[in-house]
Amino acid sequence: MNGSDFTHRVCEAYSKIENPRVNALVQSLIKHLHAYVQENSLTEKEWEFTWDFLARMAKFTHEERNEFLLAADVLGVSQLIEILNHHRPESEVGYALVGPFYRENAPFRARGAAIASDDTAGIRVKIYGKVIDDSTGKPIANAVLDTWQAATNGLYETQDPNQPDMNLRGKFKTDENGNYELVALMPTPYPVPTDGPVGELLKVAHRHPLRPAHIHFIVSASNYETLITQIFVSGDDIVKTDVVFTASDNMMGNFVKENDHYELQYDFQLTLGISTYPEAPIK
């Protein structure tokens, strides 16, 4: 029996999956995996390394970290899925991966409130603007902006025992005119975790582990497609070599220095559609 016949045999064994979409996905997965093995003449030692690498990834996956999601991010898989599913040529704001540090149930905060605790180090930035319909330009009232970011030490609050719970996270609602306002930290670059198997991969590839300075946003409203995006700092050199391939021209923010703080005016455009919410890697 040759390789092609064997692959056909395996596909036949999984051909009775009743859900058509699941059936198609499993069949395609088998064919592509088998093709990879055959095209590269995978050796037994290389296969042993593969399953050992995956087993070590599992050891680094827990409630506060998902090494598998991190691997998908640095290999460009996560952002490719967003590109394929959320083509937004009519919008000024691009769609981004949710990232491995999104946490569910962030607290709602009053308009203009800060997401950073008073003792959190860093320069503040006032972020304000509108949430609007991308086809009509009309403001969207009661839209929810779910935002989170890393501290100036490069750590999210779940990684840093010195930060209070839910620090640098918060939800805000737009008013009747679609306006929102909040205070965050001026974002700074930070590295993705490199103490696990993903870090080994980046080292072998001679890739730096840095993410450009950014702030995460999930913007949602009833009867609109949920927007997951990130705002990057215009002029940041790391944008072109973002370790997770997310930063792009339609996610740049013009942060303006105003005395002892910065200000950013930024509008979000939503597209009519089904309102859904991403699964949070951190519960």
Q: CA–CA separation, 114 vs 111, rounded Å?
A: 9
Mean pLDDT of 149-166: 94
The model's pLDDT over 51-78, given as tens digits with 9 standing for 90+, comes to 999 999 999 998 878 899 999 999 999 9
The pLDDT of residue 241: 95
Weakest-pLDDT range from 53-67, 76-90, 147-161, 162-176? 76-90
Q: Do 258 and 198 meet the contact criterion of CB atoms below 8 Å apart?
A: no
What is the b/e burial string over 172-198, where b = at least 16 CB atoms within 10 angstroms of the residue's CB?
A: bbbeeebebbbbbbbbbbbebebebbb
- In 3D space, the residue among 75, 71, 44, 46 whose CA is nearest the CA of residue 57 turns out to be 71
The model's pLDDT over 113-149, given as tens digits with 9 standing for 90+, comes to 999 999 999 999 999 999 999 989 999 999 999 999 9
Does residue 1 carry a pLDDT above 80? Answer: no
First to last CA, the chain: 48
CB-based burial label for 201 (10 Å; 0-12, 13-18, 19+): middle
Percentage above 70 pLDDT, the chain? 99
Strands 124-133 and 261-265: parallel
Does residue 283 carry a pLDDT above 80? Answer: no
Helix or strand or coil: residue 138?
coil
Q: Report domain extents, the chain.
A: 3-62, 68-270
Does residue 217 carry a pLDDT above 90? Answer: yes
The pLDDT of residue 89: 62
CB-based burial label for 78 (10 Å; 0-12, 13-18, 19+): buried
Q: Which is the CATH superfamily of the domain at 68-270? A: Aromatic compound dioxygenase (2.60.130.10)
The pLDDT of residue 248: 87
The model's pLDDT over 228-281, given as tens digits with 9 standing for 90+, comes to 999 999 999 999 999 999 998 889 999 999 999 999 999 999 999 989 888 888
